[in-house]
Every structure is written in C-alpha cells, then in structure tokens.
C-alpha cells in the first residue's frame, strides 16, 4: 500500500448477493471520484487473500466470516473512500431503467411471433429491398402496406399476383397513406370514423378527399392506397379490384369512393365491373378524364376530387339531394318535376321504373339509401353491343362511352351517315334502307346482345322512322327469342312533325327500349352487357381478401421508418418495430447466396 492511498472496508453481516451483483458493485465503486480500486466479495479466506493480493488490505482488523459481505475501497484519500462506502447500499439497489425498453426483433418472422395478431406489415425500407420484404410478408400470410418507392414494376406485378392468389392485399408501392379500421398507416390525417370507404392511387389524393369528407361532416371507414401504377395495363388494377371487393363486403363501408389517374381502358372496365359487383354506391373520379357519363347504375362519376368528396358526403342522405322522378310515364318529362328530370327513362321496362330512386328496391343492401336505379330488375345477358347510328355525333358519343366502359373488339358503333355508307345513297336520316338491312344482319349474329339505334326527328328527317323500324325490330326480337335487346335513342320534341309520342309508342310496341340521350342508353345497356364482364377473370378476386384485413384495433409490424411505428402506437394500435437491416449487412455476394438458397 502506497503512502498516498488509503484502504477502507465495510462489512454487511449475513448479506448474500450473487457474485455478479458484487462484481457490478465493485465496478460501480471503482468509477467513483478518488477511488483507485475496489473489491466486493463474500469474506471467505480465499477471497480475503485475493483482496490482499490486490493491495486491498485494510489497516484495521476485519471481523467478517464467509457469509458476510466484505467491501474494500482503495482511494486517494480517506474521505473519498468513506464517500464511496456510503454509496454501497444505494448502488446495490440500482436498477437500470433502460432495460424496460421493448424488445426490437430483427426479422419479420420474429416480429410476427411477438404479435401474431398482426394482419398488416408496413414496409418502408429502401426500394431495392422492399419487394423482398413484402414478399416475405405475403409468405407469412400478411397484408402489405408498401410505402417504399423505386420498386420495379415487374416486382410490383409479381407481388400483386401473388397477393391476389393468396387473398392478400398489397397497398403500393409508393403508397403514402391508408386508413384501416380507423388507424392511419403512413401519412394519414386524423379523420372522423364513418361509412365512406376510399380507394386511391395517390397518397395525397386520398388525404385530400378524406380531409374534405371530414370537413363536410362525413366519416371514413377505410382508405386503401393502391400505388400509382396499379391501374396501368401491366398491373391491371389488381389491388384496386381487390379493394373494391373488400369494401363491398366491409360492413362499416356504405359508400365507396374510387379516385385515381385515368386507368388503362381495359383496367377501367375491370374496375367498373368490380365497382358494380360491390352492390354499393361507388363514386368514381378518374382525374383529368372527363366522364362520358354521370352515372352508371350504382356508379357515379365525379369530375374532380372535390366533387367526389361532395357526392360521397351527400350520398347517405340522397333523398335530399336527388329528388325522385315520377315513375311509369315520362315523355316528355314535366320540367317542374325537379332537377333530375333528365334522368328519367322513356321506356316502361327500363331500370328506374316502379318506385324510382330510393324506394322499394330490393336485393341491394344499401339501396335504402336511395342511390341509383335498381339493376335487379334487368335481366342481365351476355353479348356484344352494336350501334347502328344515323347521327355522326351521337355515334361518336356512344363510341366514346363504350370505349371507356365496355371495351372490346365485339362492341362496335357504326355511323351509317358516314361517307363510306352514303356513296350513291341518301343519308340514313332520310333513307333507312341500309340500316334496316344491317339491323337484320346484326340480329342474326347470336353473339350480339344489344342493338343501339338513334331515331332523329325534325324537319327534313324521315316522315315516320319509327314506323319503318318497328316491324323489323319486332321481327328480330321475336326471332332471337328474347335474347336480344333493341334500344332506341329518340331525339326530338313534341312539336316536331313526326309526332314524338307516337314515334315512341310505335318503337315501344315493337319491343324496343326507348331513351332520350346516348348516356341514358349506355347506362341502360351497361347493366345488361356489363353482367358479362362480371364473369371475366379478375372482375372479382378468386380468393377474397379476408375482412380480418380491416381489423380494429389494428395490429401491425413495421419495417423501416420509425415514425410510422410511433404513429401506430399513438393511435392505440398494437405494433412491433423491426430493427431492419439489409440482408447480410448489404454484402451483395452473401445476400446473393442467401437469395439463391431461398429459391432452391
């Protein structure tokens, strides 16, 4: 023992501590100011020898046995040694507070063992790893919220096809926001719970509409993000289609809003079929696309996000917004009947008759809302649509509507007033001979299910177009045994020389459905022919996404951005944060081997 140090000891009689506790105390004492060394041992002879060998022998006599705790402190001064010894009991009581932190698993598999209830995996790892992580989540039977961007489209397609086959949902990639069972994923606004379910490609679009709905006093049931490329031809709207089906079955959702950039045409048709199949009112806004129709059965088209929100917010109280037109007779519709007179149909057998909007419509869970005209009374039939038009603009409008909603080679609109048909012949508004022949010809094709005609009245037009058409219409309908619909669009007024009422009556007697505008006619056609679309592959997922996906309260595993995890916890969701790192620490060679091992 050197002259400039002193050794003091303390004894705790009969105090048993595990040796590691003693070592820890010893380490703590050694770090105190002025302390040179410390020894904490049970006072066995062997331990006392060890202390002596370390220069920790006190000057005073020690009265301690093998069952007593002996604490020796060598310090620069007597006071430093004394102060250190005074800390012994408090140091023995020390419990590290940091140890209470939640365990952070490093793998998805472990996280799911910690939180097996989690139906969702949130992925915000760097893009080149994201698909791998999402794929693993699908393998574990979990739905994916894929925030990461820079995921190649082939990987997106592969992920979504896999998800589709497994009845799982992949939101994204580049999905910034979603609301599931009332819990916001990623970036989400605090919005009221309600019964409007949204599907959107872009994160901010969804945020804009959900926020607007909230401001309008409405509430959100779910908001499902699809990622910006979902509605491309390559991806084929897999997620949007699944989401429509899911929201269709979600008891919390009574109205659906679908917003996106304009989809690829074939995808649009698929989506509208899926929307129709939900059996719920759906508000659609394809951004930047001027809708050729305002509504299509239970689907309503909005021209902007604002209008989409306003329409959806109004839908739960449709009676206030959409006065009921008079049923059963309608031509010409009395102007004083309200704002939606143009909606009425001219044919007794057409949809919308018999009770009008909102009342007495059966077979639709949400029809009590008064949304739309019932399609239940229309016998759906498969078949192509053929249009035999005299008017060029009407033909163009019909073609436009069909291209958007009924794409397909078999659906064609002929403008018989076009130059190629009028060579050496009068215009079909005057001479219907060609049209009558085409009418018979199209009707003879059993693949044709609907024939659209325009009947244009007025000065200069044929004196009795309906009278010429009627016998042929009657004949072809009879020949086809009811498997053919003829729909006539009659353009004219009650002051026209042909007598509008008689023209309509004649056509109707022949068995034709009569409408006033192209869009009304297309709306009438769509449920008939659109039924054929419902049977197409993908119109409804073969394996539906389980309603578990919409669980509340939400449970999720988060890989990547910690703020998403914090946000889940703040919302009362259960969540596990994975301490994710690139596979093999980013070593490409090793990661490559691991990837190959997985595909064996």
Partner 1 sequence: MDIDKANRTAVERMTSARPMLTGIARARDVIPGLHDDLLLHAGPPIAWERASGPLRGAVIGALLFEGRARSEAEAVALVERGEVRLEPCHHHAAVGPMAGVISSSMRVYVVEDAVHGHRTFSNLNEGYGKVLRYGAFSDEVLAKLRWMNDVLASVLAEALALAGGIDLRALLAEALHMGDEGHNRNKAGSLLFLKLLAPHIAHGKSGADAQSEVLKFLGDNPLSVLNPVMAACKAMADATHGVEGSTIVSTMARNGTDFGIRVSGLGDRWFTAPAQVPDGLYFPGFTAADANPDIGDSTITETAGIGAFAMAAAPAIVTFIGGTPQDAVHATLEMYEITAAEHSQFTIPALGFRGTPVGIDLRKVVELGITPRVNTGIAHRQAGVGQVGAGLVRPPMEIFEAALVAFAERYLE
Encoding tokens for residue 104? Answer: 């952070």
Q: Are 186 and 564 in contact (CB under 8 A)?
A: yes
23 binds partner 1 (CB under 8 A): yes
Smallest gap, in angstroms, from Cβ of residue 112 to partner 1?
A: 11
What are 550's strand-pairing partners? none
Encoding tokens for residue 266? Answer: 């074939």
62 binds partner 1 (CB under 8 A): no
Rounded Cα distance, 121 and 559, in Å: 8
99 binds partner 1 (CB under 8 A): yes
Q: Are 440 and 472 in contact (CB under 8 A)?
A: yes
Among 24, 57, 422, 517, binds partner 1 (CB under 8 A): 24
31 binds partner 1 (CB under 8 A): no
190 binds partner 1 (CB under 8 A): no
1 binds partner 1 (CB under 8 A): no
Smallest gap, in angstroms, from Cβ of residue 275 to partner 1?
A: 42
486 binds partner 1 (CB under 8 A): no
Planar angle of CA 275, 212, 371, nearest 5 degrees: 35
Among 1, 27, 193, 334, binds partner 1 (CB under 8 A): 27
For partner 1, give the closer residue by CB, 84 or 529: 84
296 binds partner 1 (CB under 8 A): no
Rounded Cα distance, 296 and 334, in Å: 23
For partner 1, give the closer residue by CB, 478 or 590: 590
590 binds partner 1 (CB under 8 A): yes
The H or E element spanning position 275 is helix 265-277
Rounded Cα distance, 225 and 234, in Å: 18
Smallest gap, in angstroms, from Cβ of residue 218 to partner 1?
A: 44
Smallest gap, in angstroms, from Cβ of residue 92 to partner 1?
A: 11
* Placement of tokens 């078949």 in the chain: 383
Q: Are 122 and 569 in contact (CB under 8 A)?
A: no
Q: Residue 401: phi, psi to the nearest 5? A: -65, -40
Among 2, 14, 20, 542, binds partner 1 (CB under 8 A): 20
100 binds partner 1 (CB under 8 A): yes
Cβ contacts of residue 87 below 8 Å, gap of 6+?
28, 29, 32
Q: Which of residues 118-177 bind partner 1 (CB under 8 A)?
A: none
581 binds partner 1 (CB under 8 A): yes
* Placement of tokens 């969702």 in the chain: 120
Rounded Cα distance, 177 and 499, in Å: 58
For partner 1, give the closer residue by CB, 99 or 217: 99
26 binds partner 1 (CB under 8 A): yes
Which residue in 534, 537, 471 sits closest to 506, CA to CA? Answer: 471
Which stretch in 78-86, 106-114, 151-159, 212-220 sits in contact with partner 1 by CB under 8 A?
106-114
Among 106, 319, 329, 440, binds partner 1 (CB under 8 A): 106
Which stretch in 376-384, 387-395, 561-569, 592-600 sits in contact with partner 1 by CB under 8 A?
592-600
406 binds partner 1 (CB under 8 A): no
Query: What b-and-e string marks burial along 160-182, b requiring 16 or more CB atoms within 10 Å of the CB?
Result: beebbeebbbbbbbbbbbbbbbb
* Total of chain residues touching partner 1, rule CB under 8 A: 46
211 binds partner 1 (CB under 8 A): no
38 binds partner 1 (CB under 8 A): yes
The H or E element spanning position 21 is helix 19-30
Encoding tokens for residue 222? Answer: 């779910």
Q: Are 273 and 536 in contact (CB under 8 A)?
A: yes
Encoding tokens for residue 405? Answer: 């909603």
For partner 1, give the closer residue by CB, 95 or 459: 95
For partner 1, give the closer residue by CB, 19 or 306: 19
107 binds partner 1 (CB under 8 A): yes
For partner 1, give the closer residue by CB, 43 or 302: 43
For partner 1, give the closer residue by CB, 114 or 434: 114
Smallest gap, in angstroms, from Cβ of residue 120 to partner 1?
A: 21
Rounded Cα distance, 21 and 533, in Å: 74
Q: Are 174 and 186 in contact (CB under 8 A)?
A: no
What are 485's strand-pairing partners? 450
Q: How many CB atoms lie within 10 A of CB 417?
A: 20
459 binds partner 1 (CB under 8 A): no
For partner 1, give the closer residue by CB, 109 or 153: 109
Residues in contact with partner 1 by the rule CB under 8 A: 18, 20-21, 23-24, 26-27, 37-41, 46-47, 50-51, 53-54, 56, 72, 95-96, 99-101, 103, 105-107, 109-110, 113-114, 581, 583-585, 587, 589-591, 593-594, 596-597, 600
């Amino acid at each position: 023992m050197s002259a400039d140090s002193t050794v003091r000891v303390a004894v705790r009689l009969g105090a048993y501590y595990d040796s590691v506790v003693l070592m820890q105390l010893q380490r703590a004492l050694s770090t105190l100011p002025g302390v040179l060394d410390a020894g904490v041992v049970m006072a066995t002879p062997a331990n006392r020898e060890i202390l002596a060998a370390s220069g920790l022998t006190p000057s005073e006599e020690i009265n301690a046995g093998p069952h007593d705790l002996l604490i020796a402190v060598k310090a620069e001064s007597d006071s430093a040694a004394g102060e250190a010894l005074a800390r012994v009991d408090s140091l023995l009581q020390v419990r590290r507070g940091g140890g209470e932190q939640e365990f952070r698993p490093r793998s998805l598999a472990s996280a799911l063992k910690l939180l097996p209830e989690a139906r969702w995996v949130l992925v915000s790892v760097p893009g080149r790893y994201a698909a791998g992580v999402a794929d693993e989540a699908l393998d574990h039977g979990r739905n994916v919220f894929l925030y990461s961007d820079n995921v190649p489209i082939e990987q997106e397609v592969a992920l979504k096809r896999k998800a589709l086959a497994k009845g799982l949902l992949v939101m994204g990639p580049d999905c910034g926001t979603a609301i599931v069972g009332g819990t916001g994923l990623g970036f989400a606004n605090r919005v009221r719970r309600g019964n409007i379910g949204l599907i959107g490609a872009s994160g901010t679009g969804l945020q804009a509409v959900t926020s607007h709905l909230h401001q309008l006093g409405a509430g959100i049931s779910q908001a499902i993000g699809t990622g910006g490329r979902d509605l491309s031809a390559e991806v084929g709207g897999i997620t949007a289609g699944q989401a429509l089906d899911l929201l269709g079955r979600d008891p919390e959702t009574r109205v659906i809003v679908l917003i996106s950039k304009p989809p690829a045409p074939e995808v649009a048709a698929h989506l509208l079929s899926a929307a129709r199949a939900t059996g719920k009112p759906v508000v659609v806004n394809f951004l930047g696309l001027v809708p050729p129709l305002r509504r299509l059965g239970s689907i309503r088209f909005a021209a902007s996000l604002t209008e989409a929100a306003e329409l959806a917010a109004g839908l739960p109280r449709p009676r206030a917004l959409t006065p009921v037109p008079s049923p059963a007779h309608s031509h010409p519709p009395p102007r004083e009947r309200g704002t939606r007179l143009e909606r009425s149909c001219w044919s007794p057998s057409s949809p919308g008759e018999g009770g009008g909007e909102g009342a007495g419509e059966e077979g639709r869970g949400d029809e009590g809302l008064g949304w739309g005209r019932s399609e239940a009374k229309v016998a759906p039939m498969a078949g192509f649509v053929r249009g035999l038009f005299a008017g060029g603009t009407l033909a163009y409008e019909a073609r436009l509507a069909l291209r958007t909603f009924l794409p397909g080679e078999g659906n064609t609109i002929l403008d018989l007033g076009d130059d190629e048909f009028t060579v050496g012949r009068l215009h079909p508004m005057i001479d219907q001979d060609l049209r009558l022949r085409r009418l018979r010809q199209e009707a003879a094709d059993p693949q044709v299910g609907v024939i659209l005609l325009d009947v244009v009245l007025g000065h200069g037009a044929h004196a009795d177009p309906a009278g010429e058409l009627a016998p042929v219409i009657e004949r072809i309908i009879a020949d086809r045994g009811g498997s053919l619909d003829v729909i006539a669009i009659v353009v004219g007024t009650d002051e026209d020389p042909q007598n509008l009422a008689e023209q309509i009556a004649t056509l109707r007697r022949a068995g034709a459905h009569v409408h006033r505008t192209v869009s009304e006619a297309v709306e009438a056609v769509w449920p008939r022919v659109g039924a054929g679309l419902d049977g197409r592959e993908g119109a409804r997922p073969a394996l539906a996404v389980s309603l578990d996906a919409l669980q509340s309260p939400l449970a999720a595993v988060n890989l990547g951005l910690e703020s998403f995890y914090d946000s889940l916890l703040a919302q009362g969701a259960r969540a596990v944060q994975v301490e994710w790192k690139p596979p093999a620490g980013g070593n490409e060679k090793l990661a490559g081997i691991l990837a190959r091992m997985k595909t064996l």
